[in-house]
Amino acid sequence: MIKVDILEFQGGARSALEFNGRGHIRGEALQTALLHDLHQFHKAHTIVQGRRARQVIDLRAFLVHADLENIIYEYRRLGIDQQIDYDKFYLYSLITHSTAMEGSTITEVENQIMFDQGVSIKGKSIEEQNMNLDLKAAYERSIEYARAHTPITTDMLMELSSLVMKNTGKDYKTALGEFSSAKGQLRLLNVTAGSGGKFYMNYSKVPARLAEFCERINDARQNCKNKELNQLYSISFDAHFNLATIHPWADGNGRMARLLMNQLQFEFGLIPSIILKEDKEDYIKSLIAARESDDLNIFRDFMFSTTAKVLRRDIDNYLQSTGLLEEESPSYSVRAGKKPKSREMILNMLSKDGSLTSASLAKRLRISPKAVEKHLANLKASGLLRRIGPDKGGHWEVNEIAQKRRLERRLSDLDGSTFST
């Protein structure tokens, strides 16, 4: 156990906390206060008993990681990712914000119309529309690779890049020959990081560096079985940063870096990270700062923070739209730092899809199948759940009356109100 003495806040407050090597803070009240006031937090001095002398560390990343884990538990407990057409609309959001980084002004609603109805968007350029349509095709292919757990290779990345740039790419003529970004071909020229920016690595080094990059990713993928949620997100964030740093193509590198990050997240069963278009400036600054200081933690911290922010926004929107919580209420479990119970999450998931297996539930909850079986047995014994049909081919059925009573009790605990049946 490591004892941390927090000395420096903007407000000058002093406090202390303990956390174990896996990154879980002891003391729920203190955890909540720190998570709430994360933006006010500067640095902390630590005393690591029995290891090293006094040292200075930045605890913001640690607290952001804890915040994200709590938010994801709440997100899944509420069943937000089990809503009808959730996967489709979440994908549309990923696409819309990624292309917005490159100048697209098409909204999520407009993309929905264009994708679902095949209707051109009035007032939007053909290039913008093609950019979004192409990225959609690339994501669909990428998700296929994620579901099949296909190893990452240079050929795969070039194929995905050709989809991203299919209708907006260009042909280039250089002293070394011709190449086309529309075909996903690697650049044969040097490029800079924007106007007045530094040059990315020499084009001649790109093929070898890209091959090494793929090898490192595949090593991480193969050794991710027992890794925690934050470690899996870090793998995807690192892949994003490193691919953007290599900059293999003449154009489309940002979209490809975000797509690969999301592909790994899909493969790991994570909720994919969306970088909001309004955060573009901070996003670019974090990439530049991490690259110039050779400190990948700068970009990781940004990604953990923005991922948590987007999911927290979705939770707020869900609670407000469903009437489960008043807008001004401060006390639902994400903000209280409480980890929802696995059996509540199981019940919520099965109420949306009774065909889910123990294995699929275990994967979503990141717990063992044995633990899932124990929860299922308890839910059956309590009358909240029953099995219809055989183990193979049957399905689960949630007792709606019992579930409603549990919901009423939970809501009553949240805001002190009662509901009539």
The answer to whether residues 190 and 300 belong to one domain is yes
Domain count, the chain: 3
Does the residue 242 lie in any domain? yes
CATH number at residue 380: 1.10.10.10
pLDDT tens profile 141-199: 999 999 999 999 999 999 999 999 999 999 999 988 999 999 999 999 998 876 566 78
233, with CB counted inside 10 A (0-12, 13-18, 19+), is: buried
Domain limit, last residue, from 295, 313, 331: 313
The answer to whether residues 355 and 221 belong to one domain is no
CA distance 234 to 68: 12
Does the residue 329 lie in any domain? no
Does the residue 196 lie in any domain? yes
pLDDT tens for the chain, residues 1 to 421? 333 333 333 333 333 343 333 333 333 334 433 443 333 333 333 333 333 323 333 455 555 667 788 899 889 988 899 888 999 999 999 999 999 999 999 999 999 999 999 999 999 999 999 999 999 999 999 999 999 999 999 999 999 999 999 999 999 999 889 999 999 999 999 988 765 667 889 999 999 999 999 999 999 999 988 888 999 999 999 999 999 999 999 999 999 999 999 999 999 999 999 999 999 999 999 999 999 999 999 999 999 999 999 999 999 888 877 766 543 344 344 444 444 567 778 877 887 788 888 888 887 777 788 888 888 888 887 778 889 888 888 888 887 665 555 555 544 544 443 333 3
The answer to whether residues 275 and 170 belong to one domain is yes
Q: Which contacts qualify for 319-328: CB closer than 8 Å, 24 or more apart?
A: 319/78, 324/411, 325/414, 325/415, 326/415
Name the residue with tokens 């001649």: 204
Domain limit, last residue, from 313, 331, 360: 313
What was the pLDDT predicted at 295? 94
User: What sign has the CA pseudo-torsion 121, 126, 131, 136?
Assistant: positive
47, with CB counted inside 10 A (0-12, 13-18, 19+), is: middle
Does the residue 289 lie in any domain? yes
The answer to whether residues 295 and 255 belong to one domain is yes
The answer to whether residues 243 and 134 belong to one domain is yes
Does the residue 420 lie in any domain? no
Question: Position 209: which residue type?
Answer: R
DSSP secondary structure, 295-324, as one string: -HHHHHHHHHHHHHHHHHHHHHHHHHHHTS
The answer to whether residues 156 and 86 belong to one domain is yes
CA distance 114 to 34: 44
Helix (H) or strand (E) holding 189: none
CB 382 within 8 A of CB 341: no
The answer to whether residues 218 and 120 belong to one domain is yes
The answer to whether residues 260 and 387 belong to one domain is no
The answer to whether residues 352 and 398 belong to one domain is yes
Question: Within 13 Å, how many C-alpha atoms sit on residue 64's CB side?
Answer: 23
CB 206 within 8 A of CB 187: yes
What was the pLDDT predicted at 61? 54
What was the pLDDT predicted at 239? 98
Question: Position 388: which residue type?
Answer: I
CATH number at residue 184: 1.10.3290.10
CA distance 258 to 184: 16
List, in sequence order, every residue forming a beta bridge with 16; answer none if it has no partner.
Answer: 5
Q: Which of 184, 341, 180, 340 is nearest to 259 (CA)?
A: 184
130, with CB counted inside 10 A (0-12, 13-18, 19+), is: middle
- Domain limits for position 10: 2-58
The answer to whether residues 204 and 240 belong to one domain is yes
Q: Residue 368 — left, alpha, or beta (φ > 0 → left; ψ -120 to 50 → alpha)?
A: beta
The answer to whether residues 177 and 302 belong to one domain is yes
What was the pLDDT predicted at 296? 94
What was the pLDDT predicted at 349? 81
119, with CB counted inside 10 A (0-12, 13-18, 19+), is: exposed
Cα–chain center distance at 329: 26
Does the residue 68 lie in any domain? no
CA distance 402 to 420: 14
What was the pLDDT predicted at 372? 87
CA distance 299 to 288: 9
The answer to whether residues 28 and 134 belong to one domain is no
How many other CB atoms are there within 10 angstroms of residue 117's CB atom? Answer: 8
pTM of the model: 0.68
List, in sequence order, every residue forming a beta bridge with 397; answer none if it has no partner.
Answer: 386
CA distance 197 to 192: 6
Does the residue 287 lie in any domain? yes
CA distance 307 to 283: 12
263, with CB counted inside 10 A (0-12, 13-18, 19+), is: buried
Does the residue 169 lie in any domain? yes
